[in-house]
Structure 1
Amino acid sequence: MLLQQAAVLLQPHVPLEKEALLRRLETPPEPKLGDVAFPCFVLAKQLRRAPGAIAAELADAVNAADQGVRAEAAGGYVNLFFDSAVWLGRIVDAALEPGYGRSDEGRGRHVVIDMSSPNIAKPLGVGHLRSTMIGNALANLYRETGHAVTTVNHLGDWGTQFGKLIVAYRRWGGKAALEADPIGESLQLYVRFHEEAAEDPALEDEAREAFLRLEQGDEETAALWRFFVQASMKEFERVYARLGVSFDEVLGESFYNDKLEPVLERLRAQGLLAESDGALVVRLDEEGLPPCLILKKDGATIYPVRDLATAIYRKHVMNADRLLYVVGAEQQLHFRQVFGVLGKMGEPWTGDCEHVPFGLMTVEGKKMSTRRGKVVFLDEVLDEAVRRAREIIAAKSPDLPGADEVAEAVGIGAVVFGDLKNRRQLSVDFKLEEVVSFEGETGPYVQYTHARIASLLRKGGSLSEQQPLGKKGAHVPAEGIGMTDAAWVCAKRLTEWGAAVSEALRDNEPSAVARYLLELARDFNRFYHDGKVIQPGDESGTQARLRLSAAVGSLLGSGLELLGIAAPERM
């Protein structure tokens, strides 16, 4: 809001369009340098004048307008100081309006987001958290900006690993054990297969034969495969429900089995296939990439063919305008090759395909591996986070109504926020004790600030028991805006909400919203500790401070919701 107003004041006096001017405005690093700064160096060549002289002239023009904004020339900068007595109330007014900071830039655009995508018959480990929650947050952000969004869980329900699992089950498994604990027993069998195969390589051939029978439709093998799929989905859905995640489409790799041959026929017809050591590849020399393997020596298709079919289906059947793949950074070469092949096939929309990579997640410095059985179950992490949250809540608020539900929201929110606050391409070392803390840069800190504001509004009569924070009923009168410097800092932070959402969307980076929420919560708590919000005898000041609090609480709640995190109103 302040940047936009600065652009309105300056634009009549500079040879720049408003959008170009907005891009050049800066937020000074210190309050003593103003609230908004405009560097005039970019105009010096065009106007053939010194930046300092341009800045002095612009400062005079702004001051003459008398719009509650004071301008100072400092070197080649114009520093703008907004009068808090004039602008604080306007900012709070705007922030309490429904849809504050929301844009419709995506109206008419359809985004398909590939996310989560676990392998069937393996547990949801803590490593699956990143794709699932980054993808979920991006889906919320795209919807927030007017996009139509389809989230797809691209399950790993096909491939040679099923041959391995089937062989392991027939050799060492049992129906009763599998039915009692489908995921745990499947993992145990999968790990044992790799242990035994290290000593007996013939098991690998047996597994390939088992998968071939599955591909050929052998009913006994297919029935066992279907059991693995159904049991896994039941378990996955339970964990997804705890995370508050759902999918518009759940389409496994097997869904595309009948769509592979048409892709191969196109590649042959277009003369794109080349032989390489008995295998068939598409060469990508002009892209500076190694050849993309399409068919192995034995004629078997591999992942690139399936991903080509998947992309074509999403574009032409699902009518996607943009395809996002929230998949680990180790797959960067794979996606560059797939997109490169699509381009050589003549698909003009390859520029609308984007790999959204993220770094590796370790737990206490250790990398996870299902082959070796080194898996930290996501469900167990959530259980432990909730247990720790419940202990903290019991110590701080022993009589809290619905304490178990709050502990679930706080524990799971802590785990999710602990991931999303990091830039997605960074590797993350997960430490449960750190993420569940109510202090520092954590989800519970933001949630607790939100709950603190809800409590203030209840005490001040601005929020009834039935009315959610920041919604109808939380708005209070505008009179009495005489506030502290801390209040002004807090109000200015409100104006950065739209920019945080835009940054998150531009870079597919949910951490931009998470970092904004941390800064907003920090600024509010400084305001809160700067003096009592509710002061008997100061009705207008109390209402003004409550009103600012309501605006902050509303944005904290909205931001947490975008990240897929609950915002309790009591903690």
Structure 2
Amino acid sequence: MIERMKAKEEIQSAPRYVLEELQVWAEQRIFNLTGVQRPISFQEVPSGIKGDYGIQLSSFTKGSQWNLKGLAEAISEGLKQAKNPFIREVHTAGPYFNFELDMPTFGVEVIRQVFEMGPKYGEESVGNNTVVVIDMSSPNIAKRMSYGHLRSTIIGDALTRIYRATGYEVLRDNHIGDWGTQFGNLIVAIKRWGNEKELLSSKDPIGVLQDLYVRFHSEMEKEKTSKREELKEIVEKEGIEAVPNLQKAIEGVSQEIMARKKISQEQLDMSKVVEDALDRVVTSRLEEEGREWFKKLEKGDPEARRFWKICVDLSMKEFERIYRILGVEFEYTLGESFYEGMLVDTIQEVRQSGKATVSDGALVVDMTDKKLGVAIVQKSDGASVYMTRDLATAKYREKELSAGEVIYVVGEDQKFYFQQLFVILRRLGHPVGERSKHVYFGMVTLPEGRMSTRKGRVILLKDVIAEGLKRVRKILKTKNPDVYSSRKLREIITRQIAIGALKWNDLAYDPKRSIIFDWDKALNLEGYSAPFVQYATVRANSILRTAGVKIGDLKIDTSTADSNIYCKPAERSIIKKLAAYPKIILEALNTNNPSQIATYAYELAKLFNSFYTIVPVLSAKNEEIRVSRVMLVAATSQTISNALNLLGIEVPERM
């Protein structure tokens, strides 16, 4: 172990990885040499400049008596005398101070750590077993899962793996939409246009339910459009005051738009505001029936409960089938209905807190001071809303699940809503309001616009999966007939490639970025894709099989390192990339962005492909170099596999 001299400020946790060791060593030595305490971060030196890692010196001169030139000279001389087995030379380059690695020694230590930790290489313990609840997937009952649901499911699963790899205890909660006014609407649709026996015997019961749901909204829109036109005529002839509640609706819509868009009242498009306000005050006969049936459901009406249970059971069966294909699991699938018995206490707490008021019979929380408008907690008819149920859910997670943090993986269009939720929780005195995050993602769109269940224009997730499997089977049949001839192996590999491609399409880019769905892009098997990275790993494993070694059995002797190993640029690049992996995981954690892992895996795969093309491995000129390169191949395979595992992507045995 490299000697580490103690600085005045205690280091909170000992580093585990060689790059961390080197960074701490440099930080402490610089402090001892200059008296300046600064956290440092290694930056990889660009090609053409001497050195492997650099430190920017300008930060050390701020607030100290040192000038840049004097500081560089002091550090250069001091570090040369200090000696570190991983450092060959020290260079100054303008405002930077560069280390040139002793690559044989450094490389052997990096590979030793990869072998020693195996599947756990890269993991950290910064989480200290803090409980994190991840609210993810959350499809709605009686609706087919769309491609859009893949984003929350896959991003949530990747975050789960990243948080667990950094020392957190993660509880995944599939907060399914199994409660709310929409179930009253669905009951109306079933009773009006459905057939219970046909529903239960259908091969696609969710499809039947969704068709009924779409029909309900289509018929309701017809009624509301007619009513809206009538009210518009009244407004034009008699003014806004002639339509009950319209003025209040206009005020509410205005506040929400100003808060969301951060604009003044003068910048509002009042014609659009009035249109939106009319939508709020216009009701239809069907809508009223739906509300009545949901009130019955809340009160425990046997017929309403029976219809509701049919919808839930049929939906969950299909959801679970898709989750099995995706390889995604949950610790909890509680759903909104689980919190039904807690809603009365939640509403009572809000009412008695002094933070809410009654407006037109509804219980509301005014957050206009935060530019967040007014949030309804209970409707004027006594019915609960999403906010009621989410408040109860947050309180339960805080108290019963001991959540130190709650992460909501939900679309970008819900940003405003979650800001409201967190503010209300804080005002009620619940610490979970401070410890909650909304990790949002962009929408999935079609050429003609955003997906919409109500209008029936949606790409079904099961169809995406089926198409992916079909395409991969065709590719395997053409490119690898041997794999295709074994049905069992073919189906395993087909699933691994197809599901890997789908997951990559969601995880390889910043989650905030919206996606225009495209079959070819989603299932691209070349370039910046999962199959490209998978194939690099399969190729590495093939080399290891030919060499007659298994990754788990490999050991490396760090006591001596031949000066001829790991000297080629392609080898050096891979070793530095392997050493950087733990830092990448922490960056992905701190930004809640799995795409950093995907980018890393792709870059490492590219480096390996380049290495494999220009550097002989099994045919190396002597045994020492051959063994060192086999070790490098094994460490690369292990690290890429670890990175893909954090994304929930498997590595096929063959491709």
**Hey, what's the Cα distance between the residues in 1 that align with 2:368 and 2:206?**
43
- 1:313-370 Cα deviation digits (max 9, x unpaired): 0001111111111111111111111111111112234211111111112245742110
Q: What is the aligned counterpart of 1:90 among 90, 109, 113? A: 109
Aligned pairs for 1:263-278 within 5 A: 263-278=346-361
1:342 paired to 2:342: no
Residue in structure 2 matched with residue 430 of structure 1 by the alignment = 517
1:105 paired to 2:192: no
Q: What is the aligned counterpart of 1:370 among 438, 446, 453? A: 453
Letter in structure 1 aligned against 2:570: A
Residue in structure 2 matched with residue 198 of structure 1 by the alignment = 221
Change (3 A) 1:23 1:78: closer
Letter in structure 1 aligned against 2:69: G
Residue in structure 2 matched with residue 231 of structure 1 by the alignment = 314
Aligned pairs for 1:272-287 within 5 A: 272-287=355-370
Higher RCO (C-alpha under 8 Å, 6+ residues apart): 2
Residue in structure 1 matched with residue 632 of structure 2 by the alignment = 548
Return 118-127 or 179-188, whichever deviates more: 179-188
**Hey, what's the Cα distance between the residues in 2 that align with 1:66 and 1:258?**
67
1:495 paired to 2:562: no
Residue in structure 2 matched with residue 32 of structure 1 by the alignment = 49
Letter in structure 1 aligned against 2:213: Y
Asked if structure 2 preserves the Cα contact closer than 8 Å seen for 1:191 and 1:373, the reply is: yes
Asked if structure 1 preserves the Cα contact closer than 8 Å seen for 2:108 and 2:556, the reply is: no
Equivalent pairs: percent with the same residue? Answer: 38
Specify every segment of 5 or more residues in structure 1 that has no aligned partner in the other structure, as ranges.
464-469
- 1:226-278 Cα deviation digits (max 9, x unpaired): 01100000000000000000110111111111101111111222222213344
Residue in structure 1 matched with residue 498 of structure 2 by the alignment = 411
Q: What is the aligned counterpart of 2:553 among 473, 489, 495? A: 473
1:64 paired to 2:85: no
What's the offset of the Cα at 1:139? 1.0
Asked if structure 2 preserves the Cα contact closer than 8 Å seen for 1:71 and 1:81, the reply is: yes
1:520 paired to 2:604: yes
Residue in structure 2 matched with residue 352 of structure 1 by the alignment = 435
Aligned pairs for 1:321-340 within 5 A: 321-340=404-423
- 1:88-127 Cα deviation digits (max 9, x unpaired): 2222122222132221111231111110000000001100
If the length of structure 1 is used for normalisation, what is the TM-score? 0.94
Return 141-150 or 415-424, whichever deviates more: 141-150
Return 300-309 or 407-416, whichever deviates more: 300-309
**Hey, what's the Cα distance between the residues in 2 that align with 1:421 and 1:22?**
30
Return 528-537 or 507-516, whichever deviates more: 528-537
Asked if structure 1 preserves the Cα contact closer than 8 Å seen for 2:511 and 2:593, the reply is: yes
Residue in structure 1 matched with residue 209 of structure 2 by the alignment = 186
Residue in structure 2 matched with residue 145 of structure 1 by the alignment = 166
Asked if structure 2 preserves the Cα contact closer than 8 Å seen for 1:214 and 1:222, the reply is: yes
Q: What is the aligned counterpart of 2:28 among 11, 19, 24? A: 11
1:380 paired to 2:467: no
3-state SS of paired residue (1:37): strand
**Hey, what's the Cα distance between the residues in 2 that align with 1:360 and 1:247?**
24
Change (3 A) 1:364 1:453: farther
Residue in structure 1 matched with residue 653 of structure 2 by the alignment = 569
Residue in structure 1 matched with residue 153 of structure 2 by the alignment = 132
What's the offset of the Cα at 1:130? 0.8
Change (3 A) 1:144 1:232: same
CA RMSD for the aligned pairs?
A: 2.2
Return 125-134 or 483-492, whichever deviates more: 483-492
- 1:419-464 Cα deviation digits (max 9, x unpaired): 101111111223231243332110111111111111110011113x
**Hey, what's the Cα distance between the residues in 2 that align with 1:216 and 1:19?**
68
Residue in structure 2 matched with residue 73 of structure 1 by the alignment = 92
1:297 paired to 2:380: yes
1:446 paired to 2:533: yes
Change (3 A) 1:136 1:563: same
Change (3 A) 1:31 1:487: farther
Q: What is the aligned counterpart of 1:288 among 351, 364, 371? A: 371
**Hey, what's the Cα distance between the residues in 2 that align with 1:177 and 1:160?**
24
What's the offset of the Cα at 1:477? 6.8
What's the offset of the Cα at 1:55? 1.5
If the length of structure 2 is used for normalisation, what is the TM-score? 0.82
Residue in structure 1 matched with residue 616 of structure 2 by the alignment = 532
What's the offset of the Cα at 1:176? 4.0
What's the offset of the Cα at 1:296? 2.1
Specify every segment of 5 or more residues in structure 2 that has no aligned partner in the other structure, as ranges.
1-17, 224-283
Return 267-276 or 366-375, whichever deviates more: 267-276
3-state SS of paired residue (2:140): coil
Letter in structure 2 aligned against 1:379: K
Q: What is the aligned counterpart of 1:259 among 342, 360, 364? A: 342
Letter in structure 2 aligned against 1:473: D
Change (3 A) 1:20 1:144: farther
> Which structure has the greater CA radius of gyration?
2
What's the offset of the Cα at 1:306? 0.9
**Hey, what's the Cα distance between the residues in 2 that align with 1:305 and 1:354?**
18
Asked if structure 2 preserves the Cα contact closer than 8 Å seen for 1:55 and 1:78, the reply is: yes
**Hey, what's the Cα distance between the residues in 1 that align with 2:357 and 2:332?**
35
Aligned pairs for 1:310-329 within 5 A: 310-329=393-412
